[in-house]
Amino acid sequence: MSSVPLSLLHERVNQWFAEEGRKHLPWRAPDCSPWGVFLSEVMSQQTPLARVEPIWREWMARWPAPADLAAAAPGEAVRAWGRLGYPRRALRLHEAATAMVERHGGEVPDTPEALLALPGVGAYTAAAVSCFAFGIPEVVVDTNVRRVLARTVEGKAFPNLTLNRAEARLAAESMPTDRDRANTWNVAVMELGALVCVARGPRCSECPVADLCAWNLAGRPAYDGPPRRGQSWHGTDRQVRGELLRRLREAHAAVPLAVLEDATDDRPQVMRCLDSLVADGLVEPLPGSRFRLPA
């Protein structure tokens, strides 16, 4: 741990969030249900919140409780997912809602252990829902949190490419000991990383802890770790899978292979991607070379 005074770091970041945090986000409203928080956490992984909010509102209007989603066909969840990306999350949400109905009386479970036992729920989601829905101060660590701590505490431009034990320990040791301050810190430090301490072009002049930040005080030394390559999109299997799902969503019925096979000029790639969607449970094959979203 560096010499950064953690109590002052907590005070500054939490106060900044009270003044500058995005209070308009509906899942941050005091009356938002645990189910609404759960949806937001799954939807917002690797997805900008501006894209999440309209889809979240549509889901909450259509499926305001786990039982409502569980009663729908899995394919309807995939259809309603739209173009949020990583559509397997829609299926995992449907599976989690079904498990909530079967195991928890249709409610979102209120312990980290029970949340972690739900289909598709990992350590981050279990911790975030525990904290933001139930006020349990679990250690919530996402990319934004890791970046803020790497800079302010460790003096590095970026964290490691993937979360390791040292970073997890740093996040735990950096938490306030007071329950309420810890819960605020979890969302505040995440927000600071999303809005100010961003990956490219950090706005240090707007940062409430710029004078405490080890990286800033060291002259913001350049990153010297492994290459951090951005994800490509055009021409990839991800793009083709997305186009296939778009056509199936808009069809609202089973479609023949002919409707799908020109998703790109590379027909073998189309077939490979279609096979992978079937294997993932996102597409259901029917007799006569027809396909649909899962019923």
Does residue 211 lie within any of the structural domains?
yes
**Last residue in a domain, options 230, 245, 275:** 230
Q: Alpha-carbon distance 43 to 57, whole Å? A: 11
Same domain assignment for residues 35 and 98: yes
Residue range 108-156, pLDDT digits in tens: 999 999 999 999 999 999 999 999 999 999 999 999 999 999 999 999 9
Q: How high is the pLDDT of residue 231? A: 59
Same domain assignment for residues 78 and 19: no
Same domain assignment for residues 9 and 72: no
The tokens for 291 are 């396909």
CATH code of the domain containing 58: 1.10.340.30
Does residue 295 lie within any of the structural domains?
no
Q: How high is the pLDDT of residue 226? A: 74
φ and ψ of 292, to 5 deg: -155, 170
- pLDDT score of 189 more than 90: yes
Same domain assignment for residues 10 and 43: no
Q: Please, are residues 292 and 286 in contact by the beta-carbon 8 Å criterion?
A: yes
DSSP code at position 111: S
CB-based contacts of 53-61 (< 8 A; 24+ apart in sequence): 53/25, 53/26, 55/80, 55/81, 55/82, 55/84, 56/26, 56/27, 57/26, 60/26, 60/36
Does residue 294 lie within any of the structural domains?
no
Does residue 64 lie within any of the structural domains?
yes
Total count of domains within the chain: 3
Does residue 55 lie within any of the structural domains?
yes
Mean pLDDT computed over 193-221: 95
Q: How far, CA to CA in Å, does 66 sit from each of 93, 254, 268?
A: 9, 27, 39
Q: Alpha-carbon distance 36 to 26, whole Å? A: 9
Same domain assignment for residues 186 and 278: no
Same domain assignment for residues 91 and 179: no
**Last residue in a domain, options 180, 196, 230:** 230
Residue tagged active-site, from 20, 41, 58, 261: 41
Band the pLDDT of 2: cuts 50, 70, 90: low
Domain that residue 223 falls in: 1-23+137-230
Q: How high is the pLDDT of residue 43? A: 96
Does residue 248 lie within any of the structural domains?
yes
Same domain assignment for residues 173 and 130: no
Same domain assignment for residues 19 and 141: yes
**Last residue in a domain, options 80, 99, 134:** 134
Q: How high is the pLDDT of residue 11? A: 97
Residue range 62-93, pLDDT digits in tens: 999 999 999 999 999 999 999 898 899 999 99
CATH code of the domain containing 194: 1.10.1670.10
Same domain assignment for residues 226 and 145: yes
Q: How high is the pLDDT of residue 277? A: 93
Does residue 174 lie within any of the structural domains?
yes
Residue range 255-267, pLDDT digits in tens: 999 999 999 889 9
Residue range 215-256, pLDDT digits in tens: 999 999 988 877 766 557 678 888 899 999 999 999 888 999
Q: Alpha-carbon distance 260 to 272, whole Å? A: 12
Same domain assignment for residues 143 and 153: yes
Same domain assignment for residues 41 and 123: yes
- pLDDT score of 271 more than 80: yes
Same domain assignment for residues 130 and 30: yes
Is residue 102 flagged as an active site residue?
Answer: no
Residue range 149-182, pLDDT digits in tens: 999 999 999 998 889 999 999 999 999 999 999 9
Q: Please, are residues 39 and 209 in contact by the beta-carbon 8 Å criterion?
A: no
Residue range 7-66, pLDDT digits in tens: 999 999 999 999 999 989 999 999 999 999 999 999 999 888 999 999 999 999 999 999
Q: How high is the pLDDT of residue 230? A: 59
Q: How high is the pLDDT of residue 23? A: 87
Does residue 293 lie within any of the structural domains?
no
